């Protein structure tokens, strides 16, 4: 980002906050949720709002907003990338920078379960709601839904997710639900990434809300993906998750994504840190390689 662009962005936020709504109203919306390749290829950037700043071996990688915006704008400019997932602060910066024309925009809704806190499972809806997503002209909302059998805070998240699914459907907007079975291990919340756990999480998530007509699932790569994805007929997107810091880990992740994309319900990728902060820091190269899988 050039110095004048940064100055203009900050000046707009200080003196013309209404410019965000103007940019949102002027945004050219996509014709479809999928791109020319027939899939949805999204870049995820909602991690910082939950206090999750690590990428690979860089503990504060997502702590520099200008750097993130540079990487996001580059990723969104690459052919075949047709969507972005983020919280209001990130998406509004991208709107003001003119980076969201023609893109599928999904607002992240529940960021209250801050990473590493005692209340992490009680994942409150602290960002977008369905009404604000519809008012902004975005294409959908995303909700993280972690199910901890031993944490009573789970039920509040389930109720809120069900309500959000119903309200988004009322606006005919995508509800992107990211379900996990989770447990607290040595004081930290860990997701159980077994086929059985994912099948259970997905079947619970698919039944939330008054209708599943607009529900998509956001799921990780686990073993036996064929059996896992047979648990639902809902469209699914593969998330990137934690990818190691060297090229071999990246190559293995790409191979797993490619295999998953061959399954009938898998309709695309939602990848964040592993493309924005690849091992060699070649964002364009990593994004192009992911698009090629489609």
Q: What is d(CA 242, CA 198) in angstroms, rounded to the nearest whole number?
A: 17
Structure tokens that stand for 265 in this block: 């319900």
Taken in order of first residue, the domains within the chain and their CATH numbers are: 3-292 (3.20.20.70)
Provide the residue count of the chain: 294
pLDDT of residue 2: 86
10-residue block means of pLDDT along the chain (294 residues)?
92 98 97 95 96 90 95 98 98 97 98 95 97 98 98 96 98 98 95 98 98 98 97 97 75 94 98 93 96 95
- In contact, 286 and 275? CB cutoff 8 Å: yes
Distance CA 132, CA 129 (A): 6
Report residue 173: phi and psi, to 5°: -115, 150
What is the per-residue pLDDT for 5?
93
């Amino acid at each position: 980002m050039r110095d004048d662009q940064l100055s203009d962005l900050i000046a707009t936020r200080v003196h013309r906050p209404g410019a965000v709504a103007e940019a949102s109203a002027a945004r050219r919306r996509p014709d479809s949720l999928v791109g020319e390749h027939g899939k949805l290829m999204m870049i995820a950037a909602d991690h910082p709002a939950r206090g999750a700043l690590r990428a690979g071996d860089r503990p504060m990688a997502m702590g520099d907003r200008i750097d993130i915006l540079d990487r996001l704008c580059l990723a969104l400019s690459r052919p075949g990338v047709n969507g972005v997932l983020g919280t209001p602060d990130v998406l509004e910066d991208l709107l003001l920078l003119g980076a969201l024309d023609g893109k599928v925009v999904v607002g992240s809704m529940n960021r209250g379960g801050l990473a590493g806190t005692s209340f992490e499972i009680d994942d409150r809806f602290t960002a977008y709601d369905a009404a604000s997503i519809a008012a902004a002209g975005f294409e959908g909302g995303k909700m993280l839904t972690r199910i901890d059998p031993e944490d009573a805070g789970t039920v509040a998240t389930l109720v809120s997710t069900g309500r959000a699914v119903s309200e988004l459907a009322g606006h005919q907007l995508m509800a992107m639900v990211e379900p996990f079975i989770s447990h607290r291990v040595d004081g930290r919340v860990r997701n159980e990434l077994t086929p059985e756990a994912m099948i259970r999480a997905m079947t619970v998530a698919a039944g939330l809300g008054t209708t599943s007509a607009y529900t998509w699932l956001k799921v990780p790569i686990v073993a036996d993906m064929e059996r896992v994805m047979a648990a639902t007929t809902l469209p699914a997107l593969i998330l990137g998750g934690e990818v190691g810091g060297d090229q071999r880990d990246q190559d293995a992740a790409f191979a797993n994504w490619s295999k998953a994309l061959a399954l009938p319900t898998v309709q695309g990728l939602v990848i964040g840190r592993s493309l924005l902060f690849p091992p060699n820091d070649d964002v364009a190269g990593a994004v192009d390689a992911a698009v090629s899988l489609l």
